[in-house]
Amino acid sequence: GNRLLPGSEPAAHCYCGHQFGSFAGQLGDGAALYLGEVLGAGGRRWEIQLKGAGITPFSRQADGRKVLRSSIREFLCSEAMFHLGIPTTRAGTCVTSDSTVIRDVFYDGNPKSERCTVVLRIASTFLRFGSFEIFKPPDEYTGRKGPSVNRNDIRIQMLDYVIGTFYPEIQEAYSDNSVQRNAAFFKEITKRTARLVAEWQCVGFCHGVLNTDNMSIVGLTIDYGPFGFMDRYDPEHICNASDNTGRYAYNKQPEICKWNLGKLAEALVPELPLEISELILEEEYDAEFEKHYLQKMRKKLGLIQLELEDDSKLVSELLETMHVTGGDFTNIFYLLSSFSVDFDPSRWEDYLGKLTSQCASLEELKVAFKPQMDPRQLSMMLMLAQSNPQLFALIGSKANINKELERIEQFSKLQQLTADDLLSRNKRHWKEWLEKYKVRLQKEVESLSNADTWNTEHMKVMTSNNPKYILRNYIAQNAIEAAENGDFSEVRNVLKLLENPFQEAEDFREVKEDAEEEGATATAAACVQETRSRLPYCSKPPLWASELSVT
């Protein structure tokens, strides 16, 4: 790992960023090292970098290392996203060693020794929105500034490079007018970002840390940290346990990405005047997001013939039904692929049983809605909100208090509910929505002369847009625990599965390790697998998975 590749000039990238809404000043690649670029087939340019290879000029007080746990997550998720058809950086290799570092996983004063691991990352470029924030003058709120204030010559050089290399058609079309060229570039990255986040929403992917330094300048999913695929549908789902305010919750992702584009627009001044970029952002982003999101949702529902105005309402009502029944986002969509327009009424009960089996059980709901604050603390906060609003604003938020009150109310209602009551209620909700869905499917068929051809295409589109397998946290955790015990077969199993997310899979647990050195600890790892899960990879999470915390 210390020998240079021919032609390589290793470097670390300097960038800034708005983190959780505040400008943090200079950041940079604290654990990633750029090795160089290779030209692939057809002249495509690929940048390769190592993540976790050691100290860089931007490591600050850290050691520049990554551990097995986080590296496996990045390795598996970047490949999962690629095979789902979502623009992403790639992972080429994941290499671990016997070297260790100390990490306090949950920042709770309980550090442990973990194995150093390096991931080889591949992308056309790792430039980010934050790359252009190095020119930012002192921020009015934090007082921090970029390291290259007043260096407009570098900004021009970077824009020339980015547009000429990654947006050559724009460079060619506007070669004699830099402002028009830069406006066309900003319009394109606005639309790409809108489409990217629409894709995330349609598979239930939550990034977790949508800071401006984690936004790709070419519209890729970049920097896999405390990400998570949503299991039970909850529009306010937060995958990052350290996101205390829910800034990057699932339903906030579209507006946050738009906010980040606003910060990129500010960073491009004076090469692109703000009045031009702000107008582009307002005119393009929401429209592109809504168009792409609805197009994708139509495919997920197999609506391939007509585009009706009420389709948006049908999607909203589906998500609301998922929400009130605690439906598993991925599995509900996958099950809908088997719903037919000429469904025999005698099969409804059986089908409703399958749907409700993918809804949260009473026990799961009680865990999800269990109050999180001590009653005395909540009482004190409520009194403080009334008596001293300014002090309250410093230590709490109305949104958090309201959420806790809702949680208490829901938990109280669940105490009065029986499992039979819940099942009956869920079946009623799903039957109501399915009847609307059936009417919409009938409109598709009525507009055609050949229903059989439509049905074949309908099924094909649905099965290629509704994955059976995603990287659920509990699946990643099982693979990580096995790997930490020396058995990497589970990581390979999961990778093989995620490479074919839309297909019915065989039992990948049959894959065996060839490497002798891994055999010695395979028994210990197998014990972890035996005790933690015997569930199929497409199963909604076991109850223990609710205790998993990613920060």
> 3-state SS of the chain: helix, strand, coil percent to 5?
50, 10, 35
End-to-end CA distance of the chain: 29
- For residue 22, give every residue at least 6 positions away whose Cβ sits within 8 Å of its Cβ, in sequence order, or none: 139, 141, 142
Distance CA 373, CA 365 (A): 17
- Write down the domain spans for the chain: 16-135, 152-296, 323-447
Q: Which of 143, 127, 118, 135 is nearest to 68 (CA)?
A: 118
- Could you tell me if 116 and 69 are in contact, meaning their C-beta atoms sit under 8 angstroms apart? no
DSSP-assigned beta bridge partners for residue 119: 51, 94
Quick one: tokens of 482?
A: 């096995």
Is the preceding peptide bond at 371 cis, omega within 30 degrees of 0?
no
> Which pLDDT does position 499 carry in this prediction?
97
User: Could you give the CA distance from residue 196 to residue 187 in angstroms, rounded to a whole number?
Assistant: 14
Quickly tell me which residue has 């390589």 as its tokens. Answer: 8
pLDDT at 506: 58
Alpha-carbon torsion angle 247, 248, 249, 250, nearest 10: 150
Query: Cα dist. 407→32, 238, 325, 410 in Å?
Result: 41, 15, 16, 5
Round to whole Å and give the CA distance between 20 and 91: 26
SS (HEC) of 229-252: ECCECCCCCCCCCCCCCCCCCHHH
Residues 65, 118: Cα–Cα separation, whole Å: 8
List the chain pLDDT tens, one digit each, 551 residues: 578 989 999 999 999 999 999 999 999 999 999 999 999 888 889 999 999 999 999 999 999 999 999 999 999 999 999 999 999 999 999 999 999 999 988 778 889 999 999 999 999 999 999 999 999 999 999 999 999 999 999 999 999 999 999 999 999 999 999 999 999 999 999 999 999 999 999 999 999 999 999 999 999 999 999 999 999 999 999 999 999 889 999 999 999 999 999 999 999 999 999 999 999 999 999 999 999 999 999 999 999 999 999 999 999 999 999 999 999 999 999 999 999 888 787 888 999 999 999 999 999 999 888 888 888 888 888 888 888 888 777 776 777 888 888 889 988 998 999 999 999 999 999 999 999 999 999 999 988 878 888 889 999 999 999 999 999 999 999 999 999 999 999 999 999 999 999 987 654 443 444 444 444 444 444 444 444 546 899 999 998 998 898 98
Active site residue 286: no
Which pLDDT does position 385 carry in this prediction?
83
| Residue located via tokens 């920060």 | 551
Point out the catalytic residue in the list 213, 223, 243, 328: 213
Rounded distance between C-alpha atoms, residue 410 and residue 408, angstroms = 6
pLDDT of residue 505: 64
Q: Which one, of 468, 437, 420, 418, lies nearest residue 348 by Cα? A: 437
* Helix pair angle (398-415, 375-387), 10° resolution: 140
Please give the pLDDT value at position 382.
86
Look at the pTM and tell me if it is higher than 0.85. yes
For residues 416 and 365, give the distance between their C-alpha atoms in angstroms, rounded to a whole number: 13
